[in-house]
């Protein structure tokens, strides 16, 4: 290709919680999907981790925006600013010269045409010349090393920030799938509500996220129990500061409802699965990817409920991004990439 040195190829996992960019098989950007905007000028002043540190602490002239909600773009302008800002982070040296980009972006498998269009438009406005789309469960399967073109069934459950994607994959396509809006963000708001009702303490999104990481659990009985996490915040009645230790058992109870929804969705997809593929899945097991897969004891809970072994993949946070990177290198080969 003439002027191919002017074209940069990047793979982007545009997630509700984190956005990851891969260039030349390396993760070059891994930042929270958040942008801080100056209200007076409408210009972005910070992206990623810097903007996350401002979240919930801003004054009236600055607002922090999470452009994606439930896996889809909720704020078009902010999404465009964020994508552009994160791409700039990738190559800060070349600020005077912006190469044209060939991009592969992953999208939830339940996306409507309008939602897909929003991702494509945002990517094109941020400098993408050739923009391809790949469904998240397909990218996750590629990222964990499954041969997606084989005549065998594989099942992937990708629990991200905004959506949980469940799909059965065979012969380079998705045979049956379900995308539900119960995922990491839902778990975080469950924890916020639980702390308010149970302990009369008001906490923000970031603190709830910290609790989830420190003592988040899917089982009330763990072999290796994490230490209690101490939460500090205002009492709802008196507004006086209180300290409350939170145990993993409490969090397991509080997440039970959301996790039950994930279980019933997995069963729902298994019901739709053709019997030959079902037999393959029972034999090979089901793979868990995404940040939600890191919830302690989740694989054990699902294995007990569904009677099929569940495996948490290696580095589940980056599985989708790695798969998107593999798709980028095989654009001509994979027919499932959407343009």
Same domain, 215 and 291: no
pLDDT, position 200? 95
Same domain, 248 and 309: no
Structural domain contains residue 276: yes
Collapsing DSSP states into helix, strand and coil, what is residue 218?
Answer: coil
Same domain, 209 and 151: no
**Look-up: residue for tokens 């980028």?**
328
Q: In the predicted model, what is the mean pLDDT of residues 38-46?
A: 93
pTM of the model: 0.91
Same domain, 178 and 201: no
Structural domain contains residue 171: yes
pLDDT, position 331? 87
Worst-scoring range by mean pLDDT, 7-21, 82-96, 264-278, 315-329?
Answer: 82-96
pLDDT at 98 over 70: no
Residue 5's pLDDT band, with cuts at 50, 70 and 90, is: low
pLDDT, position 93? 60
Q: How many residues does the chain have?
A: 339
Same domain, 169 and 46: no
pLDDT at 267 over 90: yes
Domain count across the chain: 3
pLDDT at 2 over 50: no
Query: Do the Cβ atoms of 181 and 71 come closer than 8 Å?
Result: yes
Same domain, 91 and 53: yes
Worst-scoring range by mean pLDDT, 62-71, 112-121, 227-236, 328-337?
Answer: 328-337
- Written as one string, the DSSP assignment of 183-198 is SHHHHHHHHHHHHHHH
Same domain, 97 and 47: yes
Structural domain contains residue 337: no
**Look-up: residue for tokens 């988040």?**
216
pLDDT, position 1? 40
Nearest 10 degrees: CA dihedral of 12, 324, 268, 263?
Answer: -70
Specify the CATH number for the domain of residue 263: 3.30.420.40
| Inter-CA distances, 138 with 108, 148, 170, 324, Å | 10, 8, 10, 9
CA-nearest of 83, 86, 85, 45 to 64 is: 45
Domain interval for residue 203: 184-254
Same domain, 161 and 60: no
Between these two residues, 204 and 96, which has the higher pLDDT value? 204
Cα–Cα dist 107/327, whole Å:
13
pLDDT at 207 over 60: yes
Same domain, 188 and 177: no
pLDDT, position 256? 96
> pLDDT tens for residues 224-260?
999 999 999 999 999 999 999 999 999 999 999 999 9
Same domain, 9 and 110: yes
Q: In the predicted model, what is the mean pLDDT of residues 3-23?
A: 84
């Amino acid at each position: 290709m003439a002027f191919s040195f002017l074209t940069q190829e990047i793979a982007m996992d545009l997630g509700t919680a984190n956005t990851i960019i891969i260039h030349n098989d390396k993760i070059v950007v891994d930042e929270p999907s958040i942008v801080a905007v100056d209200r007076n000028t409408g210009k972005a002043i910070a992206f990623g981790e810097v903007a996350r540190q401002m979240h919930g602490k801003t004054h009236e002239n600055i607002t922090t925006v999470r452009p994606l909600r439930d896996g889809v773009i909720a704020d078009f302008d902010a999404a465009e600013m964020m994508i552009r800002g994160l791409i700039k982070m990738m190559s800060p040296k070349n600020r005077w010269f912006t190469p044209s980009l060939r991009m592969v972006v992953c999208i939830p498998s339940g996306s409507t045409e309008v939602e897909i269009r929003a991702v494509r438009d945002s990517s094109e406005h941020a400098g993408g010349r050739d923009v391809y789309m790949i469904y998240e469960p397909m990218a996750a399967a590629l990222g964990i090393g499954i041969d997606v073109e084989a005549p065998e069934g594989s099942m992937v459950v990708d629990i991200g920030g905004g959506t949980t994607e469940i799909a059965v994959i065979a012969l380079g396509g998705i045979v049956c799938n379900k995308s539900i809006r119960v995922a990491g963000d839902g778990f975080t708001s469950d924890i916020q509500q639980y702390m308010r009702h149970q302990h009369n303490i008001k906490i923000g999104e970031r603190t709830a996220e910290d609790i989830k990481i420190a003592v988040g659990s899917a089982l009330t009985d763990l072999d290796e129990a994490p230490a209690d996490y101490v939460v500090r915040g205002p009492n709802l009645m008196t507004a006086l500061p209180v300290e409350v230790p939170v145990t993993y058992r409490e969090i397991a109870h509080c997440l039970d409802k959301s996790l039950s929804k994930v279980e019933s969705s997995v069963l729902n997809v298994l019901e739709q699965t053709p019997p030959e593929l079902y037999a393959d899945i029972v034999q090979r097991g089901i793979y868990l990817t995404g940040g939600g897969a890191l919830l302690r004891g989740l694989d054990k809970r699902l294995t007990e409920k569904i009677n099929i072994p569940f495996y948490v993949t290696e580095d589940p946070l980056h599985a989708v991004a790695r798969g998107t990177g593999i798709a980028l290198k095989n654009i001509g080969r994979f027919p499932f990439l959407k343009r």
